[in-house]
Amino acid sequence: MVDETGNQLGVMDLPEALRIAQERNLDLIQVTERVEPPVCKVMDYGKYLYWLQKKEKGPKQRGGVIKGIRLTFNISIHDLETRAHQAEKFLKEGDKVRIEMILRGREKAHFDFARDKVNQFLEILNKIIPIKEDRELRKEPRGFSIIIGKK
């Protein structure tokens, strides 16, 4: 038997355990039934039910955090790899990543080249860590953007 503070009270018979629980104005709860003798705990039953619900839910999921990575029009292969490793770090932390390719001036006339650069970045990143597209590559007024997550 275990009391409300977690101290072991030892093995005792049922009437004695119930008496201790009544003296402390708490409930006697059987925690495990697979063990001989069964393990019981003196605690509030409402608290116990709340604890079970919380345990069943599991840890809170961190969601909605979107990290950003910006690529430029004339980015080199090495810089793409560096940004891919940064994106990998974000994805391993459980975040989503928005990849943006900002186009300025004359660069806006070469959407195909810019799209190829973004796809090249995604291929490099896919070799490092498996990814899925949460939002497809979208053309925006100032360039392209895509949101990715970890598979």
Q: What is the CATH number of the domain that holds 31?
A: 3.10.20.80
Q: What is the DSSP letter of 73?
A: T
pLDDT of residue 120: 94
Lookup: tokens for 132: 């899925």
Quick check: is 116 in a domain?
yes
Range of the domain at 108: 66-150
Same domain for 92 and 121, yes or no, is yes
pTM beyond 0.85: no
More confident residue, 126 or 61: 126
pLDDT of residue 64: 62
Lookup: tokens for 96: 């989503």
Same domain for 34 and 95, yes or no, is no
Lookup: tokens for 3: 């009391």
Tally the domains of the chain.
2
pLDDT tens readout for residues 131-144: 999 889 999 888 99
Confidence of residue 38 (pLDDT cuts 50, 70, 90): confident
Task: For residues 50 and 8, give the distance between their C-alpha atoms in angstroms, rounded to a whole number.
Answer: 23
Last residue of a domain, one of 25, 57, 89: 57
Task: For residues 44 and 51, give the distance between their C-alpha atoms in angstroms, rounded to a whole number.
Answer: 11
pLDDT of residue 62: 60
Look at residue 105 and tell me whether its pLDDT is greater than 70.
yes
Distances (CA, A) of 147 to 61, 117, 140: 19, 15, 13
Residues in CB range of 114: below 8 A, 6 or more apart: 73, 101, 103, 107, 143, 144
Look at residue 63 and tell me whether its pLDDT is greater than 80.
no
Same domain for 98 and 37, yes or no, is no
Task: For residues 93 and 26, give the distance between their C-alpha atoms in angstroms, rounded to a whole number.
Answer: 42
Lookup: tokens for 57: 């839910």
Quick check: is 104 in a domain?
yes
Look at residue 54 and tell me whether its pLDDT is greater than 90.
no
DSSP E strand boundaries for 59-130: 66-71, 96-102
Quick check: is 135 in a domain?
yes
Quick check: is 2 in a domain?
no
Same domain for 88 and 143, yes or no, is yes
